[in-house]
Chains A and B, each alone.
Chain A
Amino acid sequence: MRAGAARACAVLALLAALADLLPRPAAAQALLAELSQREVAVTTGFSGAELLVFGTVTGEAAGPGAEIIVSLRGPTVPLVVRRKVRVAGVWLNGPSERFDAAPSFYAVASTRPVETILPAEERRRLRIGLASLPLSPRGQIENPDFRQALIDLKSGLRLYGEDPGGVRLVADRLFSARLFLPSAVVPGLYRVEILLVREGRVMAARDLALTVVRSGTSAEIWRFARDQPLAYGIAAVLLAAFAGWLGSVLFRR
């Protein structure tokens, strides 16, 4: 009994010491933020979703000179970028570069262009902005063209984007940003990061989670196709046969 109590005391003391090491709650409270929704459902009618990130800067952190950066990052997926080459008059896929951990989605919005808010090494350390995005290429060809092509193609699909001026800051306190998720978003865990920057230094940060989930009929179809491909194939055949038969009955002449 006594030994147990002593151990409990030791644990409590350790926890107290750890709490001292953590930042004071007041510092974290300098920035408050929330999302319009914590879950985006990919249903049969899904054609993209708009996410509203809003919040406030409180206390001493507020005031002129405060800048806000909001970034939204999707789950990483391996990708291949291929370049077409001309062989005997025909254009076909030639050299390729594999990117092992490219974010499937990345959007950054800020009060001003991120280059003017944060110095280059801070952007690289925090991985903020398309230019500082870690993509981890894995290939023999060390060619920056492939990296740029990946960013350009993803931007064309609205899966990557930079919106300098996308964050509205009212009275140096209240801020809001709108981010658009197109219909091609990959389901999974998304991270929203909000940074409060002053004079090139990050004063406070907030991390919020957003989940994109398949739901409804389209989710069931996807799961069925993935988990029981044989049964799904047979079901697709029966469905097509039924539709064809129905057509022949409807239009029987």
Chain B
Amino acid sequence: MQVYLPIAEMSVDAFLVVGIGLAVGLLSGLFGVGGGFLMTPLLIFIGIPSAVAVATSANQTMGASVSGLIAHWRRGNVDFKMGSVLTAGGLAGSALGVQLFALVRQAGQLDLVVAVFYVVVLGIVGGLMVAESGRAILRRRRQVRRRLHEHFWMHGLPLKMRFRQSRLYISVIPPALIGFGIGLLSAIMGVGGGFVLVPAMIYLLGIPTSVVIGTSLFQVVFVTAAVTVLQAVSTQSVDVVLSLLLMAGAVAGAQFGAALGSRLRGEETRGLLGLLVLAVAVELAVGLVRRPDELFSLGPVL
């Protein structure tokens, strides 16, 4: 069944798009991430213009994260104070990111910049995840105990604040900076940033795992909402029809994924996610270096 996308100005197979939503939803439910990092490349792959793919993926990620946030909110797993600090940084980052996005698009290098961001960010994160879960699997065998959390020099910066629910008393500068970085990535890559935010919150800020997911979802929802509005205003590339089709698939897929995920151990899940992230990075890196079949490309005058 063909559906005409009003903003992308092309028709797509509705079943294909819902199927992509379902597949990404399944993986996101399995690994507890938004799945934007898979969604954007898949959309570009089926021929959606990069700008529409990024902006719409941010919108879709927001919808997918809302249901997760509601679930964690009910269980009281959201640190609102920490979430607000992260969000404040995230809003600033996304505002800058959307400006950068429009600038790069005008220069005709959007495809390149999006691809480079993906390769670098996914390469680093995927590599770290695989290495970390490998160590964790080994550690499990050796039964080494870990401390509650480590204290870094940056926790001692000025503007200290007490985050009761996270059982932390640290400077607001590191979380605000992390939020800023995630906001920037969110605007340029069309991702929620959970796959960067969650490890950063655990390893850099020392937030207990019980509140990490809920709090990161809090930040993701607000930042992707801001990105959606900013992209709608500055690049007019948010396609709600595409976004709704993706969400229809993703909501159902996430449920199956979550059921499947509860049967896997944490370290193994993280290792698998790391491999998946690395695979996407490698695929995109190959696309950058390999001689393209078509050297010429068409674009609108902006």
Instruction: List residues of chain A with CB under 8 Å of any chain B CB.
Output: 42-48, 77-84, 86, 89-93, 96, 98, 145-146, 149-150, 152-154, 183-184, 186, 214, 217-219, 221-222, 225-226, 229-230, 232-237, 239-241, 243-248, 250-251
Contact = CB atoms under 8 A, between A and B. Distances in A.
B297 interface: yes
Interface string B95-117: 00000000000001101100010
B65 interface: yes
By Cβ-Cβ distance, the 6 closest A-B pairs, closest first, are A244-B66, A233-B232, A240-B63, A247-B251, A233-B229, A149-B296
22 contacts: A79-B298, A80-B108, A81-B297, A96-B108, A145-B296, A149-B296, A153-B296, A183-B4, A184-B10, A217-B6, A221-B241, A222-B7, A225-B238, A226-B236, A230-B232, A243-B66, A243-B244, A244-B64, A244-B251, A248-B67, A248-B70, A250-B251
Contacts of B229: 230, 233-234, 236-237
A89 B289 contact: yes
Interface string B215-227: 0000001000100
Interface in B61-76: 62-68, 70-71
B301 interface: yes
B291 interface: yes
B171 interface: no
Contact of B232 (A44, A92, A232): A232
Contacts of B230: 233
Interface of B: 2-7, 9-11, 59-60, 62-68, 70-71, 108-109, 111-112, 116, 221, 225, 228-233, 236, 238, 240-241, 243-244, 247-248, 251-252, 254-255, 288-292, 294-301
Contacts of B236: 225-226, 229
Nearest to B11: A183
B71 A248 contact: yes
A65 to B, nearest CB: 40
B7 to A, nearest CB: 6
The majority secondary structure among interface residues of chain B is helix
B221 to A, nearest CB: 8
B295 A237 contact: no
Contacts of A86: 291
Contacts of B71: 248
Contacts of A45: 2-4
A188 to B, nearest CB: 12
A240 B4 contact: no
B247 A243 contact: yes
A84 B109 CA distance: 10
B289 A236 contact: no
